[in-house]
Amino acid sequence: MKRRDALPALLAVAATAPDCALAQPQGAVGRRVLGLLYPNPGSAKATPIGARLKELGWDEGENLQIEEASAEGSNDRLDALAAGLVRKRVDVIWAAGPEAALAAARATRDIPIAFYGVAFPVEQGLVDALARPGRNVTGLASNAGNEGLKRLEILKEILPAIRRLAIVTTASAVGTLAGGEYRVPVNLVESAATVLGFEAQTFPVSRREDLDAAFAKILEMRAHAVWFDHTALTFRERHRIADFASGARLPSIGGIKEFVEAGGLLAYGADRGWMILHSFNHVDKLLRGARAAELPVELPSKFELTLNLKTASALGLTIPQTVMLRADRVIE
């Protein structure tokens, strides 16, 4: 399997080799048991995760035992799976995504947990603060907070004269450890767009059935470009979204390269493949005895820009050389 392969439906990422320093076991470390908890089908051991653990000095069958727990696409199974890992007395739990992280945190206050892909760890009650989690949970958050502004700056660089921007985002709430909800703000991109001089209008959607109405309103406002937030809904509907933008001759921007592969113009965001593998730095430290409460939550530090020149050509656009030189991947 190539290094750019990933857990088939679990994370929908391209896993690339991390640029962090490789580590070897330091000191006498006995056999450890690692639990892997994730929502969708697939085996982590058949992906670059296994190779990353080896790079860090953990070899399954030698000094590491791996217990996998996949919810097979049913998040309501995560609590039972997390409880099962606790009963197996794993030494550390790696949890992929907010639902898995919450399930693990509900199952144990003692076993260290390292998460990946949680956008709001403080707001969801998983940690007290990013710098000092204060609990048995730490990990790698899924956004650094400024990716949206960067996307808009790149769009402005490509099309400096555009003004009207349509923003499609998913109005949603995420669960908290206390059993409540945290309402995710939907107007953050609109605020950033206004700062850059766009006339922006936001169109929240909650279900795939809402997209046609949003598309009609975007045409009605005579938008010059359209922004699509990266959520589970927009990921599933990325081909439909890209087809709409192309049919309406609208430059479209998103947060992940899969959107560009589907026909969108550009995407800029954290390199999720790197993030997955980098999150195992936390796993490594916890397996070696570090305290999760004192191990800071990290923010993404590696980002990728993907461009689709086929789409640009169909729209009659020329991508500036300054943008081309910064692109990590160009679809021609």
pLDDT band at 171 (very low <50, low <70, confident <90, very high): low
Residues 6+ apart with CB under 8 A from 107: 79, 82, 83, 85, 86
For residue range 20-30, what is the model confidence (pLDDT) as tens digits?
Answer: 333 334 445 68
Asked if 153 and 316 touch (Cβ cutoff 8 Å), the reply is no
40 or 301, greater pLDDT: 301
Between 28-37, 43-52, 58-67, 86-95, the lowest mean confidence (pLDDT) is in 43-52
Helix (H), strand (E) at residue 252: strand 252-254
State the DSSP string of 274-321. HHHHHHHHHHHHHHTT--GGGSPPB----EEEEEEHHHHHHTT----H
For residue range 244-255, what is the model confidence (pLDDT) as tens digits?
Answer: 999 999 999 998
Q: What is the CATH number of domain 32-143+271-303?
A: 3.40.50.2300
Whole-prediction pTM: 0.80
What are the sequence ranges of the domains in the chain?
Answer: 32-143+271-303, 147-269+304-331
Distance CA 183, CA 169 (A): 13
135 or 185, greater pLDDT: 135
User: Can you give the pLDDT at residue 4?
Assistant: 40
140-169: buried (b, 16+ CB within 10 Å) or exposed (e) per residue?
bbbbeeebbbebbebbbebbeebeebbbbb
Q: What is the CATH number of domain 147-269+304-331?
A: 3.40.50.2300
Average pLDDT, the chain: 87
Asked if 119 and 245 touch (Cβ cutoff 8 Å), the reply is no
- The whole-number average pLDDT for the span 81-98 is 97
pLDDT band at 169 (very low <50, low <70, confident <90, very high): confident
- Residue 221's Cβ-side half-sphere holds a number of Cα atoms within 13 Å equal to 20
For residue 141, pLDDT beyond 70: yes
Collapse the DSSP code of 106 into the 3-class scheme (helix H, G, I; strand E, B; otherwise coil) and give the result. helix
Q: Do domains 32-143+271-303 and 147-269+304-331 have the same CATH topology?
A: yes
Q: What is the CA radius of gyration of the chain?
A: 21
173 or 183, greater pLDDT: 183
- List % helix, strand, coil for the chain (3-state, nearest 5): 35, 20, 45
71 or 28, greater pLDDT: 71
